[in-house]
Amino acid sequence: MIKTLAAAAVFLCACMSPLMAEPTADQTVDKEIQEEISSDLKSGNEPIDKSAVSPTAADTSDESEEPLPELVVELGIPKESQKKSPVVAKTVNEKTPVKKTTTATAKKESPPNSRSAALAREALAHRGARYIWGETGRGGFDCSGFTQYLYAKRGIKLPHSAKMQYGLGKAVSKKDLQEGDLVFFNTRGPLTHVGMYIGDGKFIHAANPRRGVTVDLLDSPYYAKRYEGARRYTD
């Protein structure tokens, strides 16, 4: 009986010895941590929790972040556009050649003297007056009576006849007309109508009973076709 109990005790010790001899992984780690803590305490250093500083994938990465592309904007122009050939601006003092053009010279009228301008103003003052055959101002005018009246106001006597007025004075070309010159037309025959030039291609005359004293254009179709010439009676 005693031999049997002794054998059982030996068997149990043999089975339990490996378990007691080999520490577990957790026991090994704990032992190492305890040893390092004891070492740190002896050296005066603060113990470190190594479980909190374990490396991660992000910390061990050797790849550097690719830098953002450089964006250069100068005067509102992208960098890519600045690579093109520069445009040289012209300086303020640089003179640009101007192409000369030739134009037709405008027709200029001879400058009127004071007497001629006064005749034109006097004539325009009677615009709208009645046309009366044979009259020279007593309630109305006919064409030669109107021009006779105007020149008489300036001390120049003219006959009461378009044809006779044409025979006096100095001949004037159409391009050299000035205010106060008399212009003649062939309306009902040769030299049957007269008026006074007032500038800007216009003349004033006692036209007919329907229109009275009025203003017309020398270049109007009717009068341009019947124009005969002009005369000047002042210096």
205 is catalytic: yes
Q: What is the pLDDT of residues 138-177, one digit of tens each?
A: 889 999 999 999 999 989 999 999 999 999 999 999 999 9
193 is catalytic: yes
Do β-strands 170-172 and 182-185 pair in parallel, antiparallel, or remain unpaired? unpaired
Residues 6 or more apart from 108 whose CB is under 8 A from it? none
Instruction: Spot the catalytic one: 13, 126, 160, 205.
Output: 205
- State the DSSP code for 47: P
Quote the CA–CA distance of 54 and 145 in Å, as a whole number.
129
Write out the two tokens for 150. Answer: 């105007």
CATH for 114-232, among 3.90.1720.10, 3.40.50.2000, 3.40.50.720, 3.50.50.60? 3.90.1720.10
How many Cβ atoms from other residues are within 10 Å of residue 143's Cβ? 24
Given a contact cutoff of 8 angstroms between Cβ atoms, the answer to whether 155 and 119 are in contact is: no
Domain range annotation of the chain? 114-232
Q: How confident is the model at residue 220 (pLDDT cuts 50, 70, 90)?
A: very high
Instruction: Spot the catalytic one: 13, 15, 126, 143.
Output: 143
126 is catalytic: no
3 state DSSP class of 81: helix
Q: What is the pLDDT of residues 81-132, one digit of tens each?
A: 444 444 444 444 444 444 444 434 344 444 556 778 899 999 999 999 999 9
Distances, alpha carbon 106 to alpha carbons 6, 101, 130, 172, 213, in Å: 152, 15, 37, 19, 30
